[in-house]
Chain A
Amino acid sequence: MSEPVIAARGLTKRYRNAVVVDAINFEVAKGEIFGLLGPNGAGKTTTILMMLGLTEVSAGEVRVLGEDPVRAPLQVKRRVGYLPDSVGFYDQMTAVENLSYTAKLMGIGSDERQARIERALTRVRLNEVGNKRVATYSRGMRQRLGLAEILMKHAEIAILDEPTSGLDPQSTHEFLEMIEELKREGMTVLLSSHLLDQVQRICDRVALFNAGRIALLGSVSELAQQVLGGGYLVDLDVEMPPGADVERRLRDIAGITSVQRFGQFRYRIAATRDVRPEVARAVVGAGGSLTKLSVEEASLDAIYTRYFQRQAGATGGSRDAA
């Protein structure tokens, strides 16, 4: 990994007695899409605010583009774009006026301002409604306008807090495409979300937050390996002749990490690769017949659910272990 653009070391935030962010460590490389995941209240937004110098750091440190947001917040905020959770604009002003105000705050000169606003609005497909008051905008349009602000800033890092929550599927899809486009242009994107399937689609690496700590960190397939024991889940329904031991045969296949049995003829297999052909051969070879054979790539959803189940199991004692 090249020099990280964001690096947090022992980053901690305490409110009176409550620890909201507990000594987290992570690094984000230039040009990657990094996801902060976790349930609400896990400390994602607080982490983001600390990176921008918008809230004080209780302990530890964070470096953004080599700067310390505590000491040099303006330097950081000049180069980082931030789209807050459910972003708001001045309703009585038009989109262009709103952007023009922030452009002035950014210190963009008047000669350049108009062109930059125009270009940013075109990129997010709002150029035709740019002179309408923001009060008339839908939620998806506001979100896009927030992205336009980051584009106008020519930010090196875009920090997006829950960018797709509350959007309809169509707007979500469009928005995610725009984020991927940013990545292609070399922008580093850090986004927080609790909508896992979306994050999975676009994130290079994710950090799973749980109660102020980063529980898991890595790419989706790495996490799947860690939590589920494999990147692929194969569901298998079979009808077997009495006495045939398909389970042993299955375990012999290379790449399979676990075989779970549900009921009499149903198995769930975790594997590091797509093992369907071997599974089919094994079942048929044992004299059985296949009634269902399907594979799914490990989803973040599954990782997430499994992880939190395991947590609950660990804290709930052995009676929940089954």
Chain B
Amino acid sequence: MRREGSAFQGLGTVILKELSDHLSSARMRVLEWLVVLIAFASLYGTIDRIRDTTAEDPFLLLKLFTVERPPLPSFVGILGFLIPLVAIGLGFDAVNGEHNRRTLSRILAQPIYRDALLMGKFLAGLATLAIMLLCMWLLVIGAGIWFLGIPPGTEEVLRSLVFLGVALAYCGVWLALAMLLSIVFRSAATAALVALGLWLFATLIWPMLAPAIAQIIAPPDVRYQLLGLPSPATVEWQTALARLSPNQLFGECVLAILSPTTRALGPIYLEQLQGAVTGTGLPLSQSLLIAWPQMVGLVAGSIVLFVAGYIVFQRQEVRA
């Protein structure tokens, strides 16, 4: 049965309203300050360290994103950790908030479909995150020019822009997850707690659990053990399992994009190194090829989660 009218009617209005809500909300301001301050701290350490050590790296600007000075993680490491937090903060009460404020039935009684409301909320959240990421990107590039006096090269800028896109896809996964939970759970607090739980699971627990599970599925081969090497089957399982976590995918993408010397993600075999000129970077297109599956994985993950939320939302009763 076909419905009359466009599913996107009212989409622009919803996006603009949600965007202005996000940008003016106290919650967003707190999250932004948190991210900016931590980023600055890590950047400060990074710049110090870059001054001390590498002077003639061809991709000095990219180093700003990736070099870490313990105890602070690198800028990218912090982003990988904090992006989920911000995305969850934006999405956890997207739909149940409307329910609880009793605005949902009033809004849906206007001539729009539910599609527009859900899509609008998702896109507005994504736009908010994009604005935040873009600002931070500009800050980092600016800090690089200011403190290190290095003009950005074309490839560096391109690579960092690709990184920006990857970070946005990563945002999308967590935002879609948070919105899915906001649809499933009527209470915003429950949705937030479950989302944070999943975040902790994906960032802290799963990386520890994946090797253990891999060992159970593919027990280490004795021949390799005698040589003190990991068994290929175990390693393969381990990487495959670890990649179920969006954090892992994001980390691998970033590694390939921002460190041009990366030649493979996961185990490297000797024959793959034959004829390789070690220590030199790959061209951007090759780095993209390496990280392509991971990038597709992130985008696909956000789409799957969004669609799941969409289906649940369409079937949900609007009455409180």
**Beta-carbon contact of A106 and B318 below 8 Å:** no
The verdict on A52 contacting chain B, using a C-beta distance below 8 Å, is yes
Query: How many angstroms from the CA of A52 to the CA of B113 in the assembled complex?
Result: 12
**Beta-carbon contact of B113 and A74 below 8 Å:** yes
The verdict on A91 contacting chain B, using a C-beta distance below 8 Å, is yes
**Beta-carbon contact of A146 and B3 below 8 Å:** no
Q: Which residues 95-111 of A have a CB within 8 angstroms of B? A: 101-102, 104-107
Count A/B pairs, Cβ under 8 Å: 87
**Beta-carbon contact of B9 and A74 below 8 Å:** yes
Closest to A161 in B: B105
**Beta-carbon contact of A149 and B106 below 8 Å:** yes
For chain A, give the interface size range: 35 or more
Bits for B103-143, please: 1 = Cβ < 8 Å to A, else 0: 10111111111000000000000000000000000000000
Query: How many angstroms from the CA of A59 to the CA of B298 in the assembled complex?
Result: 42
Instruction: Please name all residues of chain B whose beta carbon is closer than 8 Å to the beta carbon of A87 when the two chains form the complex.
Output: 102, 106
Instruction: Please name all residues of chain B whose beta carbon is closer than 8 Å to the beta carbon of A89 when the two chains form the complex.
Output: 101, 103, 106
Query: Could you tell me the dominant secondary structure of chain A's interface residues?
Result: mixed
Query: How many angstroms from the CA of A86 to the CA of B319 in the assembled complex?
Result: 11
Query: How many angstroms from the CA of A141 to the CA of B106 in the assembled complex?
Result: 16
**Beta-carbon contact of A55 and B317 below 8 Å:** yes
Instruction: Please name all residues of chain B whose beta carbon is closer than 8 Å to the beta carbon of A106 when the two chains form the complex.
Output: 110-111
Chain B interfacial residues counted at CB < 8 A? 27
The verdict on B5 contacting chain A, using a C-beta distance below 8 Å, is yes
**Beta-carbon contact of B111 and A74 below 8 Å:** yes
The verdict on B152 contacting chain A, using a C-beta distance below 8 Å, is no
Contact of A88 among B9, B101, B109, B110 (CB under 8 A): B101
Q: Which residues 58-101 of A have a CB within 8 angstroms of B? A: 70-75, 77-78, 80-92, 101
Q: A89-B103, A91-B101, A102-B110 are in contact. Are A72 and B13 (CB under 8 A)?
A: no
The verdict on B4 contacting chain A, using a C-beta distance below 8 Å, is yes
Query: How many angstroms from the CA of A83 to the CA of B108 in the assembled complex?
Result: 11
Contact of B105 among A46, A54, A90 (CB under 8 A): A54
Query: Could you tell me the dominant secondary structure of chain B's interface residues?
Result: loop
The verdict on B10 contacting chain A, using a C-beta distance below 8 Å, is yes
Max chain B Cβ within 10 angstroms of own Cβ: one of A46, A52, A54, A149 = A54
Contact of A71 among B3, B21, B113 (CB under 8 A): B3
**Beta-carbon contact of A72 and B101 below 8 Å:** no
Bits for B1-27, please: 1 = Cβ < 8 Å to A, else 0: 111110001100110010001000000
Query: How many angstroms from the CA of A300 to the CA of B118 in the assembled complex?
Result: 43
Instruction: Please name all residues of chain A whose beta carbon is closer than 8 Å to the beta carbon of B110 when the two chains form the complex.
Output: 77, 102, 105-106
Closest to A107 in B: B111
Instruction: Please name all residues of chain A whose beta carbon is closer than 8 Å to the beta carbon of B113 when the two chains form the complex.
Output: 73-74
Instruction: Please name all residues of chain A whose beta carbon is closer than 8 Å to the beta carbon of B109 when the two chains form the complex.
Output: 52, 54, 77, 80-82, 84
Instruction: Please name all residues of chain A whose beta carbon is closer than 8 Å to the beta carbon of B4 when the two chains form the complex.
Output: 71-75
**Beta-carbon contact of A82 and B106 below 8 Å:** yes
A295 → B minimal CB distance (Å): 42
Query: How many angstroms from the CA of A105 to the CA of B108 in the assembled complex?
Result: 10
The verdict on A45 contacting chain B, using a C-beta distance below 8 Å, is yes
Contact of A101 among B13, B102, B108 (CB under 8 A): B13
Contact of A84 among B5, B106, B317 (CB under 8 A): B106
Closest to B102 in A: A88
Instruction: Please name all residues of chain B whose beta carbon is closer than 8 Å to the beta carbon of A101 when the two chains form the complex.
Output: 13, 17
B247 → A minimal CB distance (Å): 34
Instruction: Please name all residues of chain B whose beta carbon is closer than 8 Å to the beta carbon of A82 when the two chains form the complex.
Output: 105-106, 109
**Beta-carbon contact of B3 and A54 below 8 Å:** no
B123 → A minimal CB distance (Å): 16
**Beta-carbon contact of A74 and B112 below 8 Å:** yes
Query: How many angstroms from the CA of A80 to the CA of B106 in the assembled complex?
Result: 12
A251 → B minimal CB distance (Å): 50
Instruction: Please name all residues of chain B whose beta carbon is closer than 8 Å to the beta carbon of A107 when the two chains form the complex.
Output: 9-10, 111
B316 → A minimal CB distance (Å): 10
A288 → B minimal CB distance (Å): 57
Instruction: Please name all residues of chain A whose beta carbon is closer than 8 Å to the beta carbon of B102 when the two chains form the complex.
Output: 84, 86-88
Instruction: Please name all residues of chain A whose beta carbon is closer than 8 Å to the beta carbon of B103 when the two chains form the complex.
Output: 88-90
Query: How many angstroms from the CA of A45 to the CA of B318 in the assembled complex?
Result: 11
Query: How many angstroms from the CA of A181 to the CA of B261 in the assembled complex?
Result: 76
**Beta-carbon contact of B13 and A105 below 8 Å:** yes
Closest to A55 in B: B317
B168 → A minimal CB distance (Å): 27
The verdict on A49 contacting chain B, using a C-beta distance below 8 Å, is yes
Max chain B Cβ within 10 angstroms of own Cβ: one of A52, A72, A77, A88 = A88
Ordered by A's residue number, 23 sampled pairs between the chains whose C-beta atoms are within 8 Å are A49-B318, A54-B105, A54-B318, A55-B319, A71-B1, A71-B2, A71-B4, A72-B5, A74-B9, A77-B109, A77-B110, A80-B109, A84-B106, A84-B109, A85-B319, A85-B320, A87-B106, A88-B102, A92-B21, A102-B106, A102-B107, A105-B107, A149-B106
